Amino acid sequence: MKGILGAWLIGIATLWGCSNKEVIHVSGHIDNPGNVKVIAFYEGDRKLDSVFLADGNKFAFEREATQPRLLSLAVGNNKYPIILTPGEKLTFTADMHQPEDYQVEGSELTEALKDFAPFKRRKEFVQDSLQGAFAKATLNKSAEEIESLRFDYLTEFKSKLALYTRQAVAFANEHKNLAGFYAISTLDPEVAEAEIVAYADEIEDKFSDNRYVTQFKEETKKLKRLAVGQPAPEITSFTPTNKAVKLSEFKGQYVLVDFWASWCAPCRQENPNIVTQYNTFKDKGFTVLGVSLDNNPGSWMRAIQEDNLGWTQVSDLQAWKSPLVTDYRIKAIPTSYLLNPKGEIIAKNLRGKELQHFLEKTLN
């Protein structure tokens, strides 16, 4: 329903929308829209539809549906979560001079989302503030100083987002519906992996007609496969002398599976820390398996020697085309997984002081 058709339907909506309970509906107006001429609707990452603003900056959207749908209503760069339920008529109004102060009527679920909005805005403010402060603090700092600051800021980031995680989980426990789902969907997997996985299991058979929820479930299945507590996928690769090595051969030890490459500056900067931890804890049941995303054997072997990496190193020399990139969902390096003696994941992406503290707590 786009363009002229969308505007035309504004005029005829009242003729048939009220009597059709298999229709979802939202209408309203946008004050001070500026250059915005179109209201867009998204379901997950997919743009579902759009309608033009009509006279008086009014709009209306209708679509057949048999279940409530969680959508995002987009006005320019501003997105608002709404839940449209068949038979309900949601009214939405907003002023783009004050985009956060929007109003909704006619949908209890959407009103609940509006109640949750201040928590989400606070989370986003904290994220932006910490990122800005970190960027300012690291200006003209050495790599070692930056890594130390990174640990401090990451600790604060996780601490502050832990509060938001508790707020989102509490909201979801209170709202066993799409409003609760929305709250969980805003969580950061780096901070709230366990909560996301637990919730996905809880709603496995719910909201099956909602694309947003389906997308969430599919992504969570991938997340769960590499979640803390899960067995690490097998790795079979080759040392610089072409000896085949399997990750399962390291069972009985704590293993840091470290994905890196000779050309990766952050990886090379982290290597001295891993060397220190390896030498400190190697007699206490700890070892490292380095997995390189190099495709040049000469560069790879030189980096091993230059960085004094005394643990087992493997690579299939396929770089980003390696099957391990898919198996371990590697989007950037360095990426690491810490495994217990059973081969289960107990931590991920520990670097600098974070790795040191975790090993001290676990092995001492």
**pLDDT for residue 333 is more than 50:** yes
pLDDT of residue 67: 87
Closest CA to 88 of 73, 57, 110, 59: 110
What's the CA gap between 335 and 326, in Å, rounded? 13
99 and 126 fall within a common domain: no
User: How large is the average pLDDT for residues 311-338?
Assistant: 94
pLDDT of residue 18: 41
Is the pLDDT at 2 greater than 50? The verdict is no
Same domain, 79 and 140: no
For residue 98, give the CATH number of its domain.
2.60.40
pLDDT band at 17 (very low <50, low <70, confident <90, very high): very low
* Separation between Cα atoms, residue 253 and residue 259, nearest integer Å: 18
Alpha carbon of 123 to those of 41, 165, 195, 318, 330: distances in Å? 24, 10, 17, 39, 26
Angle at 232 between CA 226 and CA 234, to 5 degrees: 125
286 vs 277: CA distance, rounded Å? 9
Residues 6+ apart with CB under 8 A from 351: 147, 150, 151, 270, 273, 334, 336
Specify whether 296 is located in the same domain as 199.
no
Segments in the chain forming alpha helices (H): 3-16, 108-137, 143-174, 178-185, 189-202, 211-225, 265-281, 297-306, 323-327, 352-363
Does residue 346 surpass a pLDDT of 90? yes
d(CA 228, CA 250): 18
d(C-alpha 362, C-alpha 357), whole Å: 9
For residue 11, pLDDT over 70 is answered with no
Asked if residue 255 and residue 324 are part of one domain, the reply reads: yes
pLDDT tens digits for range 123-167: 989 888 988 888 888 888 876 677 677 767 877 888 888 999 999
Q: Mean pLDDT for the chain?
A: 90
State residue 154's pLDDT score: 77
pLDDT band of residue 40 (cuts 50, 70, 90) is very high
In a domain, 230, yes or no: no
* Phi, psi (rounded to 5 degrees) for 58: -95, 160
Residue 231 inside a domain? The answer is no
- CATH number of the domain within which 301 lies: 3.40.30.10
For residue 9, name the pLDDT band (cuts at 50, 70, 90): very low
**What whole-number distance in Å separates Cα of residue 321 and Cα of residue 316?**
10
pLDDT at 144: 66
Same domain, 278 and 204: no
Q: Quick one: 132 and 215 in the same domain?
A: yes
CB 215 within 8 A of CB 200: no
- Choosing from 73, 106, 139, the residue where a domain stops is 106
Handedness of CA 117, 121, 124, 126 (dihedral sign): negative
pLDDT tens digit sequence for 260-307: 999 998 899 899 999 999 999 999 999 999 999 999 999 999 999 999
Number of domains in the chain: 3
Q: Is 204 helix (H, G, I), strand (E, B) or coil?
A: coil
- Which residue, 87, 106, 125, sits at the end of a domain? 106
* Confidence check: pLDDT of 20 > 70: no
- Asked whether residue 119 falls in the same domain as residue 219, the answer is yes
pLDDT surpasses 60 at 12 = no
Asked whether residue 290 is domain-assigned, the answer is yes
Is 170 strand, coil or helix? helix
Lowest mean pLDDT among 9-13, 25-29, 226-230, 267-271: 9-13
At residue 1, does pLDDT exceed 70? Answer: no
Q: What are the Cα distances from residue 124, in Å, to 75, 150, 161, 212, 245?
A: 19, 19, 10, 21, 44
Q: Which of 225, 246, 267 is the last residue of a domain?
A: 225
Residue ranges making up the domain that contains 9 = 3-106
* C-alpha closest to that of 92 among 37, 65, 53: 53
Pair (357, 240) in one structural domain: yes
Nearest to 96 by CA among 3, 7, 29: 29
Work out the angle at residue 223's Cα, subtended by the Cα atoms of residues 82 and 120, and round it to the nearest 5 degrees: 35
pLDDT for 339 beyond 90? yes
Q: Quick one: 214 and 326 in the same domain?
A: no
